[in-house]
Structure formats: structure tokens, C-alpha cells
Structure 1
């Protein structure tokens, strides 16, 4: 059966639909002899006659063997058509994309990326997974947002933006303008658990002989900000974490002096992997969204 071609089955289906070899040839744009050749090849492969040919004006009819062949043949033709449509949609940017992310990107950047993707490709299938580990599973997704560049030749990267650390404080806790790190010595502070970026923040404090008093730790950004709003303490967070909290009247945002090293946001993907059009477009949109976010951050009052 490996010699049966889809064009032979398509010819057989056209003959069954039209009732004659001549009308099938006209529908398919073939000569009648080509149609006859297709059926001859098909009958040789399946080992029997697939059409009864009564002659004259009477329509041709499927033989019992022909009915079996065409029943499966139409399934194959339908699947082939479905595959053709799926490939065309894939090339046009539809299909599936798996994206890895982490909390602040999920809250601020990624919704804008997804909205743009879905506006351009309403039929696309977007799957998200959140990972806060230092070694995210880049090989299990098409794209991975991460807060550092991973070394190794098997991972490609695109730097999206620098994300500066700022002091988030209850309104009135500090005078307007930049705040000296030394002012935070023994000051009450709300912080993340000592994972991900937090060790870098605490190393920065230690390097400057500053020892804040950590009064609460929470993994959730909203929980940290809620405690700052309550007056429990201040927090040192990357600006991207703030989102709408950057204009919250209960909070004040301050640059730090000296300025801590900035967090860097990257988009990662497995090197050598052929990217779908949807993945390529997601990278372009992420770069645009990140650039706009950086511009807004630069424009915000301190």
C-alpha cells in the first residue's frame, strides 16, 4: 500500500463524487487519460477493481473493494487537508508557544506581550509556566524570561532591560529624593526570602556595612508591598516589581546612594532550535514592551 499516493485517492474521490471519469478530469484539471492512469495504478496496488464501469451515460459505481479503499482514502485526504491548514496557520504565526516566566515579569511585562500576540494571532495556543529557580528549565519551553544571563553555548539570550533597585517606603518615612544606604542601618525592612535576587541585595548591604532589621519576609511581591503600605518597614526591590505601586499615594519611591547593581532581565532559548514564526514574533514583541517599560521607568518621578 506504500505505493498509493494522495493524488490517486483524490482522483478516486472525484470520480465517486462526479459519477464519471470525464467529469472528474474536468474538476481536477487533468486529462481523462491521466484519471484512468491514476485508477489503474490504484487498482494494481490494492489488487482489484475499485469501480464498476457500466459504459454509456450510466454513472460509474464503487465496487465493494472500492468502498473500503475510498472510506479510508477520504480519511487520509481529510487528514492531509487538516495538516495543510495547520502548516499554513503555523507559517502565518499561529500554533503553540510555551513560555517560562517569573513573578515580576508575569505581573508587568508578560501580560502586554500576550495581549499583543493574541491580537495578532487569535488562534495561537499560549502555555505559561512560572519558575523562580537559579537554573530554569530552558530546554522545556520555547522562551524563558530570567533575571540573569545563563552561561553556556547551548543557550542563546537577548537582554531586555536593566532593572534598577529602588527603596520603597511608607509615604513620609524618608525625605523626598535619593536615600543614602547608611540611612537603612538598623531600619525595619520587609524582604524576600534569601533566594533568587535577595542574597545579592543583602550582600550589597553587607559590603556597605549596613545591617537593616528584617522584620518580615514574603515570597510574593504583593505581600511585601502590602506590609510596606502598612508601615511595617521599607523594602529594596527592583523597579519592575512595583508595577502600579510606583504611583501608589501610600508609598514613596527613592533612588539609593550609592546605587546598587542593577538586575538584568533576559529572554533565553535553547541554541540551535528552529524557532516557529510565533516564537520569533514573541521575541520581537518582548523587546518592544521591555524598551517601553524602561522608558517609563526613566520618566517616573523619584
Structure 2
């Protein structure tokens, strides 16, 4: 109908659309039957067809429908190409080590993608508003889990505070230490030390890995941190620090990638998962 109005005749509309004139006439007839009246006045001969009052109403709304259909088609194409939005929940060491590479590769492949991040570590994380969630333990509920890696705990101290090589956990008994807040996986680590006869004497807590290492360098005490956190903070490149294995070592924390059970991933989210799995496999090779 819009083509007939724009071109002024059924024949020219058919030519533009790649239809036969009879096909256009049949479609207009079907439209008129659906709306219950004529949408065109047909003067015949060389005179252009004209809209009836009913036709003017139908065309105005019809152009809105055409625009909406075009928008829908564009949105579907963007979705198929991955040019959409992805919401990712993350945690500090993943933010500094894994996500920069994931985001860079996604943007290289899908330049128009809208990536939104939130870095929180609540005790009961929710995935309803997230496409993907990185977390350091399994999440309760209808959640699918992809175990990325086991992240071993190590001791970071000032250079010279301990002899080179592994450190017995019993050497930490009563020693001033700095640590993460008692949330997420931290209580489990401290409980593991207690079971080994070590009474952690925590003199400072912060969620910031950089702040913890600054306190270690300042002599506040060593810290027990997972490899990923130390790797992201560049602990091995700092001559003022030494990283030691613990004997016996606490069980590693488990890093998972999670999403709502049954959720269909967009191409963008699916690609983010693929990249993350590749990076996790590479990080495992670098771990002690």
C-alpha cells in the first residue's frame, strides 16, 4: 500500500517491489477486505490512484508498523551478529586478569556491543539481571556452573621475612597478618588454618588486593591470597615481596562462570564464554 502511494500507480509499485501488478492488486484487495472498505479510489487511465479517507488512516498506522518491523529486523540481525548488550557480574581478580582480555576480543569482533559490568561479591548473588556471573564458589538455585579453574592459595610476605621456599602454616600461628574481609571464600581459608593449629591474628582487612600488598610491603604482616589475585597485582614482579607455597596448602578456591539455568545465550554471550574458557586453560598452565 505504501509503495502504491509513493509510486502513484499499481504498476510502478509492482515494478519497484519486484512483483507482478496482479499480485499487488490481490494484496491490496486482501487488505481492503481486512479493514472493511476501500483504501484507494481508482480513477482509471493515466490518473494516479488516490487514498480514501479510510486509506489515509490505514496508511498512517501502516507506516508505523513498517518502521517497527524494520526496527525488529535490525534488532534481530544485531542479535545474530552479537551486536547487543551483555551484563556480566565479576570479582576483583577476574576483573584484573580475565575480563580485560575478554572485553578486548569481544570489541574487536563486535564493535557495536554494549558491555556492562558490576563487581560485587554478595553472599547470595543473583543472576536474574546478568547474562554471566563470575564467582568463587557454587551458587545456590537454578544456576548452571562452568568450573573455570582451581585457584591455589599462597603466602605473600616482605622479602626476607621468611627463608626462600615453602613456609609451614604453623609458622603463621599468632603472627600479625592482613587479609580480605570475612566474606565469600575467606572464612573457609581461615577455618582451614585454625584446623592446622594456626590462630590467625588479623590486624587489617580490606577487599582491595593492591591495598593488601601495600600493607605487606609496609610490614603490617603477610597475607594468604589466591594465585589469581597475586598474579593480577603483579606480586612476582615486585622485588620487595616474596611469594611462598604453604605446607600443607589450603584447598584452592574454585572459580566458576555461572548463568541462569535454561537461558539461551546470545552470540555475544556465547563468544564471551568461549574466550573465557580459552583464557582459563592458558592460566592453568602458568599456575604452580
Pair in the same fold by TM > 0.5: yes
**SS of match in other structure, 1:215:** strand
What does residue 64 of structure 1 align with? 53
**SS of match in other structure, 1:148:** coil
Q: What is the root-mean-square deviation of aligned Cα atoms in Å?
A: 1.8
Which of 238, 245, 248 is 2:238 aligned to?
248
What does residue 250 of structure 2 align with? 260
The reply to whether residue 161 of structure 1 matches residue 149 of structure 2 is yes
Assess if the C-alpha contact under 8 Å between 2:4 and 2:10 holds in 1.
yes
**SS of match in other structure, 2:117:** strand
Measured after TM superposition, the shift of residue 156 of structure 1 is 1.4
Measured after TM superposition, the shift of residue 132 of structure 1 is 1.1
What does residue 97 of structure 2 align with? 108
Measured after TM superposition, the shift of residue 264 of structure 1 is 0.8
| In 1: Cα distance, 2:260 partner to 2:36 partner | 50
Assess if the C-alpha contact under 8 Å between 2:43 and 2:49 holds in 1.
yes
| In 1: Cα distance, 2:139 partner to 2:233 partner | 30
Measured after TM superposition, the shift of residue 236 of structure 1 is 0.3
| In 2: Cα distance, 1:83 partner to 1:214 partner | 57
| In 2: Cα distance, 1:56 partner to 1:249 partner | 92
What does residue 270 of structure 2 align with? 280
| In 1: Cα distance, 2:97 partner to 2:193 partner | 27
Which runs of 5 or more residues in structure 1 are unaligned? 1-11
What does residue 195 of structure 1 align with? 183
Paired residues in the alignment total 286
The reply to whether residue 34 of structure 1 matches residue 8 of structure 2 is no
Measured after TM superposition, the shift of residue 294 of structure 1 is 2.4
Measured after TM superposition, the shift of residue 151 of structure 1 is 5.3
| In 2: Cα distance, 1:16 partner to 1:230 partner | 79
Assess if the C-alpha contact under 8 Å between 1:245 and 1:251 holds in 2.
no
Alignment of 1:1-302 (within 5 A): 12-150=1-139, 154-242=142-230, 243-246=232-235, 247-298=237-288
Q: TM-score, normalised by structure 2?
A: 0.92
1:127-178 CA-to-partner distances (Å, cap 9, x unmatched) read 22233123211233221111112356x2211110110101111122222221
1:170-213 CA-to-partner distances (Å, cap 9, x unmatched) read 12222222111122222221111222122112112111112242
| In 1: Cα distance, 2:38 partner to 2:135 partner | 63
| In 2: Cα distance, 1:216 partner to 1:253 partner | 19
Deviates further, 51-60 or 13-22: 51-60
1:250-290 CA-to-partner distances (Å, cap 9, x unmatched) read 22111111111111101111222222222211111111122
Which runs of 5 or more residues in structure 2 are unaligned? none
